[in-house]
């Protein structure tokens, strides 16, 4: 078995899930899976439809963004993935999509307020939205700078990437991550659902209040606290 076979398989299966979960249209999304020991990740090749993917078509890239194995061009967002893996030692997979509702909040440049318990099950505050990137970042190494924008924003907000596994990049779209492909995909799907529910909440009641502290605490802790008991 080739030294990259396992991450290629996992990245292949993960990318196939993106259209199945309704998170992408055409080629608008990508998933990668890292092997931290070998300092590489497997990512979707650029421009290949999801139903034509195969494990061997996944491109192997190092944490500097350089292709180390594979015949195809890696996803155009590869450098963003590389920067995140390089800086965040404990993540195993990253997902980027333009899923409709999460992207709409990113385009509106608004963090998603915590309106409900689905949101509180995963995080106790709003889902952050980075500021739009400035012109210098956009005209320079854009995809690399997108990764830095995410890292710097979490730092400014005093948030750890292990605490919150999702973010909106202002004017662009969401990125999610996790310890493996299933967790990063799960985060992507949950984020889309939270984004949709928050929009509907504001439409039904423009003055809707965010969740009260006791409910946030209850929901977060039953899933993540020392005495977690949540399971469905």
Q: Cβ contacts of residue 135 below 8 Å, gap of 6+?
A: none
Closest CA to 126 of 110, 106, 102: 110
Q: How many of the chain's residues bind Zn ion (CB under 5 A)?
A: 1
Could you give the 3-state DSSP secondary structure of residue 230? Answer: coil
Give me the least distance between CB of 143 and Zn ion, in Å please. 9
- Catalytic residue, from 35, 62, 69, 121: name it: 121
For residues 17 and 97, which CB has a smaller minimum distance to Zn ion in the complex?
97
Give me the least distance between CB of 79 and Zn ion, in Å please. 12
77 labelled catalytic: no
230 labelled catalytic: yes
Q: How far is CA 51 from CA 13, 138, 162, in A?
A: 11, 31, 32
Could you give the 3-state DSSP secondary structure of residue 107? Answer: helix
The site string for Zn ion over 98-137 (x = CB under 5 A, - otherwise) reads ----------------------------------------
Give me the least distance between CB of 102 and Zn ion, in Å please. 11
For residues 166 and 173, which CB has a smaller minimum distance to Zn ion in the complex?
173
User: Rounded CA gap, 201 and 227, in Å?
Assistant: 31
The site string for Zn ion over 146-175 (x = CB under 5 A, - otherwise) reads ---------------------------x--
Q: How far is CA 194 from CA 37, 41, 123, 129, 189, in A?
A: 34, 29, 11, 14, 9
Give me the least distance between CB of 115 and Zn ion, in Å please. 26
For residues 91 and 173, which CB has a smaller minimum distance to Zn ion in the complex?
173
Closest CA to 112 of 125, 99, 95: 125
Q: By beta-carbon distance, which residue lies closest to Zn ion? A: 173
Region 30-89 residues binding Zn ion, contact defined as CB under 5 A: none
| DSSP code of residue 59 | E
Residues that bind Zn ion (CB under 5 A): 173
Which positions are annotated as active-site residues? 121, 230
């Amino acid at each position: 078995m080739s030294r990259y076979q396992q991450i290629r398989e996992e990245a292949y299966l993960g990318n196939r899930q993106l259209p199945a979960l309704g998170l992408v249209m055409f080629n608008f999304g990508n998933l990668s899976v890292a092997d931290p020991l070998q300092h590489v990740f497997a990512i979707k090749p650029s421009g290949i439809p999801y139903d034509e993917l195969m494990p061997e078509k996944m491109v192997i890239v190092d944490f500097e963004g350089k292709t180390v194995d594979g015949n195809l061009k890696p996803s155009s967002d590869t450098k963003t993935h590389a920067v995140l893996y390089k800086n965040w030692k404990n993540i195993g997979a990253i997902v980027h999509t333009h899923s409709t509702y999460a992207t709409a909040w990113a385009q509106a440049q608004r963090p998603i307020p915590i309106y409900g318990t689905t949101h509180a099950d995963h995080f106790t505050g709003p889902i952050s939205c980075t500021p739009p990137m400035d012109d210098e970042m956009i005209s320079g190494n854009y995809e690399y700078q997108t990764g830095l924008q995410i890292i710097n924003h979490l730092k400014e907000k005093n948030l750890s990437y292990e605490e919150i596994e999702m973010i909106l990049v202002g004017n662009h779209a969401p990125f999610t991550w996790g310890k493996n492909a299933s967790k990063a995909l799960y985060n992507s799907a949950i984020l889309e659902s939270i984004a949709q529910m928050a929009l509907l909440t504001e439409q039904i009641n423009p003055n809707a209040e965010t969740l009260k502290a006791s409910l946030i605490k209850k929901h977060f802790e039953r899933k993540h606290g020392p005495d977690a008991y949540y399971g469905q």
